[in-house]
Structure 1
């Protein structure tokens, strides 16, 4: 018989997916150890697992997959062919509907482009203290995207409005925001995306204690620190409206000691996920955050990429941080107790089991 680990390796479904399909009655193991709960599969079930993996990649609903697996080995294949044909029709109709919606969205985007462009063509002159800007860049740098398919995320957003400069980065799975006070600017809101290499060059100039000068002239941005400067072209893209992505207030808010919590993450239980090792968190009644071991059931548990969480804790540069946990599908927020305008959010990872 095949262990669940061997079945996961040979079928490509993953251990957590196999557990989910067992509970859903789609692919039930041949035997479950009554003591350990470990699942074992007959060799011939590998063919069913491979078929299941193909059907899921094709987006077939679980109800139809259940019928497919029940009919696959029978002599009468009419039901199998009918299910495949019906699903193909659904996919074709869905693609047609998506094309129609995308065409409408392109028209709407064309109308929005002129308004968005106005946020990048203004002339700006302002001053900011070097330590504050340095700390802000250090706080957000870890969440900058390196995906060449998403060039609009390959930099640091400088969002200038009123007496504040927000610096923002995101790679879709995490986002970091830091707020800095500014002086010498009272114009309308201006946004520019500073390419990551240029942002790093700016950070290298911020070793002193005094004021530095930031200027934006159209699509060019310059940081001057004494007689040194870093300058270059802004990215010619629109950054997503990060304010719409901010997490809603949640009642599950707790303060963590960063050193102890980081050590617990590094040495505690993890689960394997497609994006890396996952830590599964839950908040106890007393407000303590604990790490769930494999098999622990809790409807409010939240899974997150462990490396991303450790990066976010380090980037905040505080001994104590506020951790906000919402529902298992809501973003996780990491805030500073003394400055809630500077924070990180991490997208949770769905647990199939």
Structure 2
């Protein structure tokens, strides 16, 4: 017999993924301790778990995996082969369709790039409030991407327009936006992506009693804070148009006490799931607005239509980044992002992408 921890180590599936597959009826442990709920797996289930991990990495739906494992256990090789072949054909058709669509998108992108007028490179220098910039960087840093394949998201966007500097970060699953006031800039809207290490170096120089100057010179950005300075190259990429991404349908806004809500999330029930984008296992907190107008963490089996499921770790990060005793949660449809807002500042907020619950 293997414990769930041993099974996770030997199979390549996380413990949360194993709990998810148990709940989904795909890989049910041979024994569950009635007192503690702890799961134990039989020796023959190790091979099944490794097979399950391979099939999920290949993108096979759970409904088909159930049949494959059933056929595997009964040595029905004909059923297993037919299911594998059917899934392979689906993947090949999907890849062919994707190649065709991507070719069209690339052609449109090349046409768009060729029609764009090159921007004039100028040097801009302006002052920024040190406490506001420090708070803004603290608010968005958690959402910077660490995916090496998405280098455009590996930094913090500095979006300068008028007297506002908006800082933005996203890793596709979450987004954070904050603002700091500027003085001395009167040019057109300007955007630069500051690499995460440089943004961290800037944050280390900021304190309440220093004057701060930002300088953007072509593809370089520098920050002077008192007698100290840090500078470096900007990322040579286009950042997504975040203004389009934050236009959400109106949801229900509910004030929360952050300490109490954080405790409820940390101690409340979770559901194991996998992100559809990359198959990474995660624990979900499922939230809903109660009849009393509060936000609660749903128990297992409580799947009201208004429930919104989000990555619990990301939710806790966003609550910490909000840096307030009171915040506002905005919940819309289960497919709409969850917004976390500051009561006094509409320009500072976080968005968490919802995770679809397995039916």
Normalising to structure 1: TM-score of the pair? 0.80
Residue 333 to residue 294, structure 1, CA distance change in 2 (3 Å): same
User: Is 1:19 matched with 2:23?
Assistant: yes
Matched, 1:194 2:194: yes
Matching residue of 1:308: 314
Q: Is the 8 A contact 2:251 2:333 kept in 1?
A: no
State the partner residue of 1:319. Answer: 325
In structure 2, relative to structure 1, the CA distance for the partners of 1:119 and 1:291 (3 Å cut) is farther
Tell me which residue corresponds to 1:299: 305
Q: 1-side partners of 2:99 and 2:358: how far apart?
A: 30
Tell me by how many angstroms 1:298 deviates: 2.4
Q: Could you tell me whether the CA contact under 8 Å between 2:20 and 2:271 is conserved in 1?
A: no
Mapped pair 1:94 → 2:94: yes
Q: 1:340 aligns with which of 313, 324, 346?
A: 346
- Cα 1:181–1:100 change in 2 (3 A) is same
Deviation at 1:259, TM superposition (A): 1.9
- Quote how far apart the aligned CAs of 1:289 are: 0.8
Contact 1:5–1:15 (Cα < 8 Å) also in 2: no
User: Aligned partners of 2:288 and 2:177: how far apart in 1?
Assistant: 24
Aligned residues of 1:161 and 1:189 also touching (Cα < 8 A): yes
Q: What is the CA distance between 1:343 and its match in structure 2?
A: 0.5
Which residue of 2 is the match for residue 143 of structure 1? Answer: 143
- What CA distance in whole angstroms lies between the structure 2 residues aligned with 1:133 and 1:115? 36
Report if aligned partners of 1:143, 1:175 keep a CA contact under 8 Å in 2: yes
Partner of 1:159: 159
The 10-residue stretch of structure 1 (103-112 or 92-101) with the greater mean CA deviation from structure 2 = 103-112
Alpha-carbon distance between aligned partners in 1 of 2:140 and 2:79, rounded to the nearest angstrom: 54
**In 1: Cα distance, 2:218 partner to 2:203 partner:** 22
Tell me the secondary structure at the aligned position of residue 260 of structure 2.
Answer: helix
Q: How much has 1:73 moved relative to structure 2?
A: 7.4
Q: CA separation in 2, counterparts of 1:228 and 1:74?
A: 70
Q: Specify whether residues 147 and 15 from structure 1 end up closer, same or farther in structure 2 by C-alpha distance, changes over 3 A only.
A: same
Number of matched residues? 349
Distance 1:345 1:88 in 2: 36
| Greater shift in the superposed pair: 330-339 or 137-146 | 137-146
**1:286 Cα deviation from its structure 2 partner:** 2.0
Tell me the TM-score normalized by structure 2. 0.79
The Cα offsets for residues 1-38 of structure 1, whole Å up to 9 and x where unpaired, read as 99999999988563334433x4xxx8899999xxxx99
- Give me the whole-angstrom Cα distance separating, in 2, the residues matched to 1:90 and 1:241: 33
Shift of 1:341: 1.0
2: CA distance between counterparts of 1:323 and 1:153? Answer: 25
C-alpha distance in structure 1 between counterparts of 2:62 and 2:141, whole Å: 41
CA deviations over 1:191-214 (Å, ceiling 9, x no partner): 111112211222222213464221
Residue 208 of structure 2: aligned partner: 208
The equivalent residue for 1:217 is 217
Does the alignment pair 1:134 with 2:130?
no
Gaps (5+ residues) in structure 1? none
Preserved contact between residue 271 and residue 283 of structure 2 (Cα < 8 Å) = yes
Displacement of 1:244 after TM fit? 2.4
Matches within 5 A, 1:237-252: 237-246=237-246, 248-252=248-252
Are 1:119 and 1:189, in contact at CA under 8 Å, matched by a contact in 2? no
- 1:289 and 2:295 correspond: yes
Counterpart Cα distance in 1 of 2:291 and 2:133: 38
SS at match of 1:351: coil
Residues 1:184 and 2:184 aligned together: yes
Question: Are 1:16 and 1:351, in contact at CA under 8 Å, matched by a contact in 2?
Answer: no
Alignment of 1:269-280 (within 5 A): 269-273=269-273, 274-280=280-286
Q: Could you give the per-residue CA deviations for residues 82-112 of structure 1, whole angstroms, max 9, x where no partner exists?
A: 5544443332232222222222323333344
Per-residue CA deviations over 1:49-103 (Å, capped at 9, x if unaligned) read 7766655544455676677677667898666555544443332232222222222
Do the aligned residues in 2 keep the contact of 1:122 with 1:190 (CA within 8 Å)?
A: no
Corresponding residue of 1:169: 169
Cα shift at 1:336:
0.7
